[in-house]
Amino acid sequence: MKAVVVPAPMEFERVFVAEIPDPVPGRGEVVIDVAAVDTNYPDFLVIEGKYQFRPPPPFSPGKAAAGRIAALGAGVGGFAIGDHVAVQVEYGAYAEKLCAPAAQCFPIPDGVDFETAAALGLTYQTAHFALAERARLQAGESVLVLGGSGGIGTAAIQLARAFGASPVIASVRAVEDAAIARAAGADVVIEAGAALAPDDFRDAARAATGGRGVDVVIDPVGGAYGTAALRALAWCGRLVVIGFASGEIPDFRANYLLVKNIAVLGLQWSDYRERAPALVARVQADLFARHLEGQLTPVIDSRLPLEEFKVALRALRDGAVQGKIILTLP
């Protein structure tokens, strides 16, 4: 099979597509003929050895895909050859065939194509857990989503809306990205720009919430954006730390937490995949159901053949993706 192969941690521009042996499923595993790969920001960090989890080389990157089951390992129940599944793994999805634990495969319902199923994977799972599990969002509460035109951003805007949040506020850096966040369902878009002042989010959040501030912040960006967004929180608000697309980890001052009774919460979604697989499966079924009901429609930036994976990685590294880039296989 063809796969993107990382012989050792290295700059992603040096990585290549190679012909390697087909995987053979072990006990409890399935092999999937991959039809669509969901590209994600951490993919280039994994290739370059800068991610918290480093796969043993040689390896293929890629955390999420969708395709047809091609082979079943011993002891696998509930799946048959040819079933359409979405799959979440730590690495290995940038390949024609992917071997994964059956427990990390989720049936794709009729009416959902492979590209949509792949796009409804890691970013939507993360946004769902951030809003529902970590922030305990209640209908009627307000939400501020940073990085509003990105993968997590567009997913979090759509889910916040689907969960009944109001208003849903998003921030984007570039004026041209405001339309993406608005189309995803943001009621108010803050065009934060590069020259972000610490009070920008607070002032915009107050203006959008009748002076209260926001109940929940979803932060996949970090840096100055994360610290500024903390000031936008209302009394008893919650900020969920998702990632650091800005390249900087923010320092949150404990006196802010005390003064307003606010909370900063972390989310490492992959822990739930390992520790709470039944909950992850329920969330995936919920994501598919909400898509079929018209509540969630992944924003697809572009579709590229597997061989053009570097185009996707460059765009992710540069913060230039609007929604998701999907790699397709014949």
By CB under 6 A, is residue 25 in contact with ligand NAP? no
By CB under 6 A, is residue 147 in contact with ligand NAP? yes
Window 235 to 294, contacts with ligand NAP (CB under 6 A): 242-247, 267-269
User: Which of 84, 173, 273, 290: binder of ligand NAP (CB under 6 A)?
Assistant: 173
Other Cβ atoms within 10 Å of 177 Cβ, number: 22
DSSP 249-310: PPPPPHHHHHHHT-EEEE--HHHHHHH-HHHHHHHHHHHHHHHHTTS----EEEEEEGGGHH
CB of 119 to ligand NAP, least distance (A): 11
Q: Diameter of the chain by CA atoms? A: 61
CB of 127 to ligand NAP, least distance (A): 9
DSSP 120-131: TSHHHHHHHIII
- Interface segment toward ligand NAP; rule CB under 6 A; list 28-36, 86-94, 168-176, 208-216: 168-176
Q: Distance between CA 157 and CA 142 in Å, rounded? A: 11
- Interface segment toward ligand NAP; rule CB under 6 A; list 9-17, 88-96, 104-112, 147-155: 147-155
Q: Closest CB to ligand NAP among 3 and 46? A: 46
- Which residue minimizes CB distance to ligand NAP? 150
Q: Distance between CA 313 and CA 225 in Å, rounded? A: 23
Window 202 to 221, contacts with ligand NAP (CB under 6 A): 220-221
CB of 276 to ligand NAP, least distance (A): 13
By CB under 6 A, is residue 313 in contact with ligand NAP? no
Continuous segment of H or E residues that includes residue 182 = helix 178-184
CB of 152 to ligand NAP, least distance (A): 3
| Sign of the dihedral through C-alpha 272, 277, 279, 280 | positive
Window 86 to 115, contacts with ligand NAP (CB under 6 A): none
**Which amino acid belongs to residue 311?**
V
Structure tokens at 11: 């700059």
CB of 280 to ligand NAP, least distance (A): 12
CB of 221 to ligand NAP, least distance (A): 4
Q: Closest CB to ligand NAP among 114 and 129? A: 129
By CB under 6 A, is residue 316 in contact with ligand NAP? yes
C-beta separation of 108 from 84 below 8 A:
yes
Q: Which residue intervals of the chain are DSSP H helices?
A: 42-47, 114-119, 122-128, 151-162, 178-184, 200-208, 223-230, 254-260, 269-275, 277-292, 309-317
Which spans of this chain sit near ligand NAP (rule: CB under 6 A)? 40-42, 122-123, 126, 147-153, 172-174, 177, 220-221, 225, 242-247, 267-269, 316, 319, 321
